[in-house]
Amino acid sequence: MAAPVNTVKTYDLVGIKEELADVIYNVDPDDTPLFSSLPKTKVGNTFVEWQTDTLRSSQENAHIEGDDSVAEARTATTRVGNYCQIFKNVVQTSDTEGVVKKAGRAEEMAYQLIKVGKEQRLDIERALFQNVARSAGSATTPRYFGALGSWIATNDTQVGGGSPASPTGNGTDTRTDGTQTAFTQDRFTATMQAVWENGGKASAVYLSPFQMNVALGFTGNNNQRNEVKSGNIVKDIVVYKTPWGTVDFTVSRECRSRDVWILDHSMLKVGQLRPMKTVELAKTGDNEKRQITTELTLIVNNEAAHGLVPDNTTS
């Protein structure tokens, strides 16, 4: 049915005032669970070093009464290190922008700096999970810290097919990915056992949303809750209990979906040479520039304390 003749409608009007909500709705996936959970320590060089050691295997220990004592051969500690990587972003706005009226924010620069700060933290989270070896950099290439994929070598035996190869385990080279196979409870439990047998005390598991859905299918009364609370169905595997330790499952958007990491938070740190800082850059024209910079590295106190279930299918 049409409107009566000569009815004035909004379609015909000129000069209707614009209606723009004074708020900005941002899809904000700014979770950085690994970076946020790791302890931060101050470092004083672009190359950070530390030492690792292990106990010898247990052996029979019985001696003759009154016998002389002879010193055992001892193994020296291992010296390892990692480079600090620079994360940097710049925001630039015109001076005209600074005086015009805007919807949803009072100052564009302040709004953009908050946004970029969150984005840079996501970049750091992503870098921690990557299969990237350390690099000293040069005058023409950036420094890179060795990410988790270049460190975990002892407890990564549940590999896929093909010809996968572990890294050396000191951040200097990457692992060779194998043919992908399904993530299973058996593969996960075997890696947990390997971590425990090598002296690790795993506390957390980091995995992608796809692998979390697989983990929700793990069986066992201690592993999964699937019940009704206050009218809501709760299906959860936040805490997983095995004979080899109890771990918290955490989903990270930045974790490579093919990797499931089993980590001991007490044996990992983030070494900060320059914590996140905003500085105003020199004025070179009719604009304003601010820079956000972070410089840090990953410290893996001892790679044998951690585990990796690699080469998982992702679809």
The rounded distance, in Å, linking the Cα atoms of 30 and 116 is 11
Tokens of 294: 């972070």
- Give the model's confidence band at 73: pLDDT under 50 very low, under 70 low, under 90 confident, else very high: confident
Which helix H or strand E contains 268, and what residues bound it? strand 268-280
- According to the model, what pLDDT value does residue 221 have? 46
Q: Which residue has the higher pLDDT, 25 or 34?
A: 34
Return mean pLDDT, the chain: 87
- Asked whether residue 211 carries a pLDDT value surpassing 60, the answer given is yes
In which band, very low, low, confident or very high, does the pLDDT at 160 lie, cut at 50, 70 and 90? confident
**Does the structure show a pLDDT above 60 at 247?**
yes
**Residue 280, phi then psi, degrees to nearest 5:** -85, 125
Q: Tell me the C-alpha distance between 105 and 217, whole Å.
A: 45
141-158 residue pLDDT tens: 999 999 999 999 999 988
Kindly report, residue by residue over 33-45, the tens digit of the pLDDT: 999 999 999 999 9
Condensed to tens digits (0 to 9), the pLDDT of residues 174-210 reads 999 999 999 999 999 999 999 999 999 999 999 999 9
Contact 162, 180 (CB under 8 A): no
DSSP class of residue 119 equals H
What is the spatial distance between Cα 82 and Cα 273, in angstroms, rounded to a whole number?
12
| Strand, helix or coil for residue 211 | helix
How far apart CA 261 and CA 259 sit, in angstroms, is 6
Q: For position 270, what pLDDT does the model report?
A: 97
- Kindly state the DSSP code that residue 17 receives in the 8-state scheme: P
Pairwise pLDDT comparison (175 vs 231), residue with the higher score: 175
259-298: pLDDT as tens digits: 999 999 999 999 999 999 999 999 999 999 999 999 999 9
Kindly report the number of other CB atoms within 10 A of residue 193's CB atom: 16
| Beta bridge partner(s), residue 153 | none
pLDDT score of 227: 47
Beta-bridge mates of residue 268: 300
pLDDT tens-place string over residues 81-138 = 999 999 999 999 888 877 777 666 668 888 889 889 999 999 999 999 999 999 999 9
